Amino acid sequence: MELGMLSGLNEMQQLAVTTTEGSIRVIAGAGSGKTRALTNRYAYLVNALGIEPSNLLCVTFTNKASQEMKRRVKKLIGGERDTGYISTYHGFCVRILREDIHHLFYPKNFLILDTEDQKTILREIYEELQLKINDSKFNRILKKIAEMKMDTEYVYQLMNRENPIDPEKTEDQDRKIILMYLKKQKRVYGLDFDDLMNFTFVLFKEYKKVLEKWQDHLHYIQVDEFQDSSSRQFELIRLLSEKHKNLFVVGDPDQTIYEWRGADPKFIVHFEKWYPDCQTIFLNQNYRSTPEILEIGNSLIRNNKLRVDKDMFTESPSGLKVIHYHGKSEQEEAKWILNQIKHLVKEKGSRLSQIAILYRANYLSRFIEQELIHENIEYAIFGGFKFFERKEIKDALALLRLLAFGDDLSFLRIVNTPKRQIGKKRIQLLREWAEQEGLTLYDTLKKYAQHEQFQRTKAQEFVQAIESLKVKKDEVAVSDLLQDVLQATGYEALIREDGDQDRLDNVMELQRSLVQYEASYGEDLSLEYYLQMLTLYTENDREDDKDSVKLMTIHTAKGLEYPYVFLIGMSENILPNERSLRDRKEYALEEERRLAYVAITRAEKELYLTESEGFTGRGQKKYPSRFIFELDEERCRHIGVMDRNLEEEAKEVIRVARRLQTQPETEAAHDEGAKVHHPVFGEGIIESIDEKKQMYMVHFETMEITRPISWSFKGLTKE
Ligand SMILES: Nc1ncnc2c1ncn2[C@@H]1O[C@H](COP(=O)(O)OP(=O)(O)OP(=O)(O)O)[C@@H](O)[C@H]1O
Ligand SMILES: [Mg+2]
């Protein structure tokens, strides 16, 4: 039996699979079989060691990755086993909180808030304060809220019953909005993505017994894509693995692409700091790509200084050279790609789904999409296609959420769709009554549906429809419930009447995906759990089973592989992006190079790098990316005419940029706490020093401001 899990693995992978006790780290390049080893190790623990899947936590980076892993694991251990602990960090926090959040005085059916929900709450607050509503303000406040949530202090505030949050106490408007937000959030028992982590931490910190229970429970922990774990995520894993100390992590420091969101490769690179007894396993055979693609990737990533070189080899047969295409315009670039795709399909028998088009940022898909539409070629966008953000999908889910949680957010979303004569005035009335009686809006409506104020409305019908479904919500499948609620509330009739086929199709698609989800979930899926998991889904994770070309950003492509890959928009200021160049900081550029490396290493058989002349969205003239010039010339074929001048110009632009970038790092001339003088701001004190950005934070006393001042600014002198 053991052989089943070990066949198809090389010796080092087998070692990784069979070394089950203690802390183990696997460091290896792209396509070397890390994820495969991790998956098989899971099966080995279950089949050969008899470990229960519920004692085995396996953390993946995206929901998509966890679904894929579940599918593979099930093949190895049998379809009936529960694989619920193969999950993302956030997904696992939901598991924990569902079981134990009552300690924090929250119900287990808490609501998970996505960005849309957060904005709905803000909109309400702005209305109450009679402030003008605009999206950029929302984003600024949301950023502030996220900053506050870097710390867990606010969780204690939320839980404090004696001294509840009181927005009235503050004069500062932003602060007031934030406190109102927290209050409203609490009122619907809503947790956003940051809260999921924070609540889990507070739970563990305050209730040692709960922590011990989970530590006890998790005999083995495995983490994929470990190079992109943030310090909080690592902290969580460390806490959970403290008792049994069986921790297995795999990653590739060269593929760290989330530093901007707090990922820190030091946890894998210096793993032994935290786990002095750890074993390290290196995998050095690449199974994914042709030697040409592998070498192109290596030649690029070698330009990064902050890395350890890996010695990778492949036994795959030699393939085509990697192609660099240069077009005279974006249209030409798109046309060429389309021709290539048609060629792959016609001449090489490739299926569309074997082809991926990758790019640095979402907006870059547009020019290629136009051409795909023009040529009538099926395509799907991972990431940009925001299925779950569409109005009708949000409405349908709000109906389900109302059944499950009865929360105000969902209620407000659908109470008057279709029209039930419950407009602003009546909502205001409901709000007042709800406040007085300490009820939710829905419960208030239920209580007063017969009240004269609601006589000429359809309140009664609405409440009846919801109540009749609430009774059976635990008995019927969620997919059936969806159908019932859409009919009973007249929502389906509404979109049918509108004759909007797209919206109808979307709702049907939701229904279909639910049926699929139920089938793959195995046991009975509860409505509450489905809704909680769903909010965790990013748009990136939508399954797509049509035969279509896949378009996605490089970030989304992490961990995936495709026989044919096009990396488009390979221009300076796009990849590397403008900010990394403007920052003039080597580490920012290196993250861009790692992104290009991740993109390149997705390819199995053929790789195309394309770019074209013209201007970027910001009006800069486009030049081929410096990364093109860093590739191994022997493995590369250039197509398209780049006139000599352009090439020279490009090289000059890059030379200048590079000179700026490689200026020797300056040292901080002043220490923290030093008194300094600024020609404009006057006297100040250095509050802190940011080594990475090479900046001081200086507080200027007379002007009562704090400003970041660059180390290289010569005007800042000692007092
Ligand atoms: N020992 C092996 N023999 C044959 N094929 C293998 C072997 N190990 C892995 N593979 C195949 O090689 C490909 C790459 O494997 P995998 O996705 O596990 O790599 P990875 O190291 O996780 O890559 P990435 O860093 O991009 O996530 C997959 O198609 C996998 O099935
Ligand atoms: Mg992988």
pLDDT digits (tens, 9 = 90+) for 652-673: 877 777 666 555 556 778 888 8
Q: Which helix (H) or strand (E) holds 689?
A: strand 682-690
* Average pLDDT of the residues in 531-558: 76
Report the DSSP beta bridge partners of residue 550: 356, 380
Residue nearest to atom 9 of ligand 1 (CA): 33
Quickly list H helices, 103-164: 115-128, 135-148, 153-159
| pTM to 2 decimal places | 0.79
CA distance 64 to 68: 6
Report the DSSP beta bridge partners of residue 688: 697
Enzyme catalytic residues: 34-35, 224-225, 255, 602
Q: How far is the CA of 9 from the centre of ligand 2 (A)?
A: 15
Residue nearest to atom 14 of ligand 1 (CA): 31
Report pLDDT digits (tens) over 680-691. 778 899 988 887
- DSSP assignments along 214-274, one per residue: HHHH-SEEEESSGGG-BHHHHHHHHHHTTTT--EEEEE-GGG---GGGTB-THHHHTHHHH
Residue type, 223: V
Kindly list the distances between the CA atom of residue 501 and the CA atoms of 391, 496, 509, 543, in Å, as whole numbers in the listed order: 14, 8, 12, 21
What is the average pLDDT value for the chain, to the nearest integer?
Answer: 88
For residue 90 the two structure tokens come to: 């956030």
Ligand nearest to the CA of 7: 1
Report pLDDT digits (tens) over 495-510. 888 777 777 777 887 8
In this prediction, residue 116 carries a pLDDT of 78
Residue 576's nearest CA partner among 658, 693, 637 is: 658
Residue type, 325: Y
Handedness of CA 166, 167, 169, 175 (dihedral sign): positive
In this prediction, residue 385 carries a pLDDT of 47
Residue type, 225: E
Residue to probe by mutation, ligand 1, list 3, 36, 282, 594, most atoms within 8 Å of CB: 36
* Whether 365 contacts 381, CB under 8 Å: yes
Ligand nearest to the CA of 12: 1
Ligand 1 binding pocket includes 384 (Cβ within 6 Å): no
CA distance 301 to 601: 11
* Whether 47 contacts 31, CB under 8 Å: no
Q: Which helix (H) or strand (E) holds 562?
A: strand 562-567
In this prediction, residue 464 carries a pLDDT of 95
* Average pLDDT of the residues in 579-604: 87
Ligand 1 binding pocket includes 39 (Cβ within 6 Å): no
CA distance 491 to 419: 10
Q: Tell me the backbone φ, ψ of residue 562, rounded to 5 degrees.
A: -140, 140
Q: How far is the CA of 271 from the centre of ligand 1 (A)?
A: 23
For residue 656 the two structure tokens come to: 């200048």
Report pLDDT digits (tens) over 72-97. 999 899 878 888 899 999 999 999 99
Residue type, 102: H
- How far apart, in Å, do the first and last CA atoms of the chain sit? 75
Q: Which atom of ligand 1 is nearest to the CA of 13?
A: 1
The 10 Å CB-count burial string (b at 16+, else e) for 509-526 is ebbebbeebbeebeeebe
Residues at Cβ < 5 Å from ligand 2 ion: 34-35, 559
In this prediction, residue 537 carries a pLDDT of 62
Q: Does this complex have an ipTM over 0.85?
A: yes
Report pLDDT digits (tens) over 449-485. 999 999 889 999 999 999 999 998 888 889 899 999 9
Q: How far is the CA of 1 from the centre of ligand 2 (A)?
A: 25
Kindly list the distances between the CA atom of residue 553 and the CA atoms of 159, 293, 359, in Å, as whole numbers in the listed order: 40, 19, 5
3-state secondary structure (DSSP) of residue 678 = strand
In this prediction, residue 382 carries a pLDDT of 76
Report pLDDT digits (tens) over 326-345. 999 888 999 999 999 999 99
Residue nearest to atom 5 of ligand 1 (CA): 287
* Whether 494 contacts 417, CB under 8 Å: yes
Please give the share of the chain, as a percent, with pLDDT higher than 70. Answer: 94
DSSP secondary structure letter of residue 77: H
Residue to probe by mutation, ligand 1, list 61, 288, 555, most atoms within 8 Å of CB: 288
* Average pLDDT of the residues in 205-220: 96
Q: How far is the CA of 26 from the centre of ligand 1 (A)?
A: 13
DSSP secondary structure letter of residue 619: S
Quickly list H helices, 377-472: 391-405, 408-414, 424-437, 441-448, 459-472
3-state secondary structure (DSSP) of residue 249 = strand
In this prediction, residue 539 carries a pLDDT of 46
Residue nearest to atom 27 of ligand 1 (CA): 559
Residue 233's nearest CA partner among 280, 268, 185 is: 268
Ligand 1 binding pocket includes 282 (Cβ within 6 Å): no
Q: Residue 447: left (phi > 0), alpha (psi -120 to 50), or beta?
A: alpha
Residue 278 has pLDDT above 80, yes or no: yes
- DSSP assignments along 159-220, one per residue: H-SSS---GGG---HHHHHHHHHHHHHHHTTEE-HHHHHHHHHHHHHH-HHHHHHHHHH-SE
Half-sphere exposure of 173 (CA within 13 A, CB side): 8
Q: How far is the CA of 53 from the centre of ligand 1 (A)?
A: 23
Cis peptide before 265 (omega within 30 of 0): no
For residue 101, the Cα-to-chain-centroid distance in whole angstroms is 24
CA distance 193 to 553: 22
* Whether 296 contacts 577, CB under 8 Å: no
Weakest-pLDDT range from 387-396, 435-444, 534-543, 599-608: 534-543
For residue 318 the two structure tokens come to: 């030699």
CA distance 46 to 375: 49
* Average pLDDT of the residues in 1-8: 69
Residue 298 has pLDDT above 90, yes or no: yes
Res. 522 pLDDT band, cuts 50 70 90: low
CA distance 615 to 639: 20
Q: Which atom of ligand 1 is nearest to the CA of 602?
A: 26
| 131 or 205, greater pLDDT | 205
Residue to probe by mutation, ligand 1, list 13, 35, 226, most atoms within 8 Å of CB: 35
In this prediction, residue 389 carries a pLDDT of 64
In this prediction, residue 648 carries a pLDDT of 83
In this prediction, residue 386 carries a pLDDT of 52
What is the number of residues in the chain? 719
- Structure-token match 């008792």, residue found: 243
Residue nearest to atom 29 of ligand 1 (CA): 288
Ligand 1 binding pocket includes 190 (Cβ within 6 Å): no
Q: Which atom of ligand 1 is nearest to the CA of 287?
A: 12
Handedness of CA 476, 481, 485, 488 (dihedral sign): negative
Q: Which atom of ligand 1 is nearest to the CA of 601?
A: 26
Cis peptide before 291 (omega within 30 of 0): no
In this prediction, residue 702 carries a pLDDT of 76
CA distance 125 to 134: 12
